[in-house]
Structure 1
Amino acid sequence: MVPESDFLGREVVEIPFPEHAPLVAGLKSHDYFGDGSFYLLEAPGHCVGHMLGLARTTPSPNASWILMAGDTAHHPAMLRPSPHVPLPAPLEPLVPAALKGCARDAPFMAPPKPGGSIHHDHDVALATLQVVTALDARDDVWVLLSHDGSMDDDVGGRMRWMPEEANKWKEDGVKEYLRWKFLEKGNSVYRW
């Protein structure tokens, strides 16, 4: 790591991802604290240097994690439904008319086509999206997207906002509660 200064004079540290870096879900990782509690994952498809953060929220042997997926996707409908997390039949009435013809085991929103996106490397961005979609299906990983406004309307009050701890997200059922919020009329991202 080579410290540099940014334009405000603060120290900037470059995170190394050498060829032999340990893989987490197929992505090169950097154990930031050296204790397995927080990993930075290399995901350069969106832009050069784009990373994901993977924070352990409960200890092993039944560890749970929050994946801060950055700009991997800008809407949860790019992750869900999926072959791993098909749309549950009881939620079928929530599907807007514009999506009625969509498969129930494929994301409602397709990623942008090459040339139609701002991705630095379109193919790498799509590969990262596939990894995040697979992680989204795991019971022990809660995926958070940077621009996911669907959680803003947390009427049930289950979201934990800084500086509150989110360590009990799994125990509290937060992921399941929020997973399909984007299909509810009145939700911030309900724009079909």
Structure 2
Amino acid sequence: YADYARLKRGIPEREVPAFVGQQVKQLRDQFHSGDELERAVFFTKDPYKPQQNMGAAARGNFTGCAFCHEVKAVANGAPAVTKPILIDRWMPQANFNHAKHQVDPVTQKPLDCNICHRATQSRESSDVLMPAKASCTTCHSPQGKIVAECVTCHTYHAPPAAQTVAESIKSVTEMLLGVR
């Protein structure tokens, strides 16, 4: 709690011991035993489920390691906590190339990632920041003047086998006429 007081709360050094003491007292008031505290910290899987004897303000500080990590009890020691599995690709079937989206095709100026991903509006690390369809159609439409045929979306969302067929077809007209 001392580092938290200094770094996150900006509490002056002379007030840190009192802050730490207050936090420890609150823990003792909320939990009847060390085992109960350990269960709340390590084994709580649902951070939004109310914990007994815990007010709403404190509840946000006890999300539980098990929400992101696999936690295994160890007979004579602290629980074993694994590294979290972080998803680095939310749409694994998608075929998207950010390189084509680095420059505005009309102005030839660099594009700001926030235009599509809205990262500056994000307030939670759980935000995935996947662009909505409306974000794509701002440019990929007759008004946006960027190619927007069926294969534009279907190549992006299709599984790899279907992407090969879609990429080999130059336009919907060619597809309908059977021209290759």
TM-score (norm 2): 0.27
Higher relative contact order (CA 8 A, sep 6+): 1
Report the structure, 1 or 2, having the larger helix content. Answer: 2
TM-score (norm 1): 0.26
**Max radius of gyration: which structure?**
2
Report the structure, 1 or 2, having the larger strand content. Answer: 1
